[in-house]
Amino acid sequence: MDPNNDEKSLAEKNIFDAIAQEDLTEFKNILAQHKGKVDFFDENGMTALQHAAYKGNKDMVQLLLDRGADVNCGRHEYNYTALHFGALSGNSEVCKLLLDAGAKPTTTNSVGRSAAQMAAFVGNHHTVATINNFLPRSEIAYYSIVQGTQTEPSLPAFLVDPLHKFVLGVNIHPVRLALNLQHMQSLLENAEKVSKVLELLCKKEMTRGGDTNEVMAFKYHYLSYIVRELHNIKEKQKPSSSDKEDKKHDIVEIFAKKLLKPGKDGYSLDLMDTFLKDCVREFPYRECTTFHQMVSALTSKDPPTALSVINCTINGQRGFVDTVSYCSTCGEEKPAKKCSKCKSVQYCDRECQRLHWFVHKKACNRESSAPAQTSNSKLNIDASELSAELQNLVAG
Ligand SMILES: [Zn+2]
Ligand SMILES: [Zn+2]
C-alpha cells in the first residue's frame, strides 16, 4: 500500500471533522502533517475550502489558501463554488479572501445564481456589497505602470495597496471615508494624483462597451469627489497650524463637523445633502441609466436623502434595514459601543463619538435625565469622561 495514499486519506478524513467542529488547533496539525495539495474532497464533492467558507471560518480559509487551495475547484452537484458558500455564511472577510485569491464572482450555480445573489437571498447585505464592490488589485496597479507617452506613471507604486483598500470599502458614508483616509495618510498626501486616478478608473468603467459597469464608475467618481474635498480643506488649512499631527486631525474634524451639523429642524443633515447632491450633479456621464435613476429619486416628491440614494446606487437596494443599528457619526452598521450617559446613540469607537459630540451633547444631557437603561458597561463609552477630555476640542 502506498504510504502517501494512506496519509492523504487520513488527512482527508479528519480535516472535514476539524472544520465541522471549528477545531483550529487540530486543523493546523492536520495541515502540518500533510505534504502536498490541500484540495481535499468529501463524499459530496465539496472541498475543504468550501466547507471552511461555509462555516465562515476566516482562519481556516486563509490557511488553506496559503497552502495553495484552488479557489474555483469543486464538484458540488449544484455547482456551488467556495464563494457561494462564503456568501451564504455571511462572513464578508471570508468572501474578500476568496475574491483576492481569484474566485470568480460571476460564476453561477445550477439554478443560475451568482454568489452575491445567494447572499442577497439569505439577507447577507454586507456580503452582497463586498462582492459587488470587489475589484482585483491589478485594476489599480495598471496606473502604477508608465503608459504610452507618459514619463511617469499616474500613480506611484506605493499607493496601489492603500488605494485598492480604499476602493473596496463598503461603507460609503463620507465621514467613514474621511476616517479611512486618515489612516491612509499616503493617499491624502497625494490627493491630487489619487483623485485623478479615480476619475480615470471611472472613465475606464464607462468605456468598456458591453462590460460597462455604471455603478462602479459612479463609485469612483464619488470617491474622487470626497478625496478632492478633503484635499481642499487641507489646502485651506495650510498657513495656520504649525503642528503636523494636529493638522491631520483637523481635516477630518472640519469635514465631519460640516457634514454632521444639523439643519434648522435640528436633525436633517442639510449640508451633507447639498454636498452629496453636488457630487451626483458633477457625474460626467449624464446619459447613463444610473445617473437618471439617481436624479429621478432626488427630484421625486418626497425625496430620500442624497446619502441614501448614493448608498442604494452603490450597494444595492436593501430590505429589513429598520432593525439594524448605525453609528451616528459614520453610518457603520452594528457599532460596538453606546454613549454611556444616555445610551440612546451608538458609535464605532471613541473617535466617532468625539466627532459627533458637538451635535450630541445637548441631546445627551436631555436624554440622560430620563431613567437609564441597563446595559453592558463594557460596551459603553463614558460621555462625562469624554466631555471633560474634549472640552477644549469641542468648545469652538
Ligand atoms: Zn462610526
Ligand atoms: Zn449621550
* Within a domain: 115: yes
> Ligand 1 mean position to 57 CA, how many Å?
26
- Same-domain status, 123 and 216: no
Count how many domains the chain has.
3
Closest CA to 138 of 115, 161, 107, 172: 161
* Residue 202 domain flag: yes
120/159 same-domain check: no
Confirm whether 330 is domain-assigned: no
pTM of the predicted protein model: 0.80
Please check whether residues 96 and 141 belong to one and the same domain: no
Domain final position from 275, 294, 311: 311
CA 10 → CA 20, 50, 67, 73, 225, distances in Å? 16, 19, 18, 21, 56
One domain for residues 198 and 291:
yes
- Residue-level pLDDT at 315: 85
192 and 243 assigned to the same domain = yes
Q: What is the CA(278)–ligand 1 centre distance, in A?
A: 24
Our CA angle for 27, 30, 36, nearest 5°, is 120
Task: Please tell me the distance between residue 374's alpha carbon and the centre of ligand 2 in angstroms.
Answer: 14
Q: pLDDT band for position 8 (50/70/90)?
A: low
Domain boundary among 104, 132, 160: 132
* Domain carrying residue 69: 3-132
The answer to the question of residue 216 being in a domain is yes
Q: Compute the distance from residue 156 Cα to the ligand 2 centre, in Å.
A: 44
* Ligand 1 centre distance from Cα of residue 215 (Å): 25
Residue 64: give its domain's CATH number. 1.25.40.20
User: Residue 353 C-alpha to ligand 2 middle, in angstroms?
Assistant: 9
One domain for residues 270 and 147: yes
107 plus 247 within the same structural domain: no
Q: Is residue 267 part of a domain?
A: yes
Domain boundary (132, 158, 192) is at 132
> Is the domain of 198 the same as that of 76?
no
pLDDT confidence bin for 321, thresholds 50/70/90: low
Q: Grid coordinates in use for 308?
A: 441614501
In terms of domains, do 274 and 368 share one?
no
pLDDT in tens, 307-320: 999 998 998 765 44
Q: What is the pLDDT of residues 37-78, one digit of tens each?
A: 899 998 888 999 999 999 999 999 999 999 999 999 888 888
CA of 324 to the centre of ligand 2 (A): 19
Please tell me whether residues 92 and 151 are part of one structural domain.
no
Dist. CA 125 → ligand 2 center (Å): 29
The answer to whether residue 236 is domain-embedded is: yes
Are both 72 and 193 inside the same structural domain? Answer: no
Cα–Cα distance measured from residue 308 to residue 173, given in angstroms and rounded to the nearest whole number = 9
CA distances to 28, 46, 335, 336 from 33, in Å: 9, 22, 41, 39
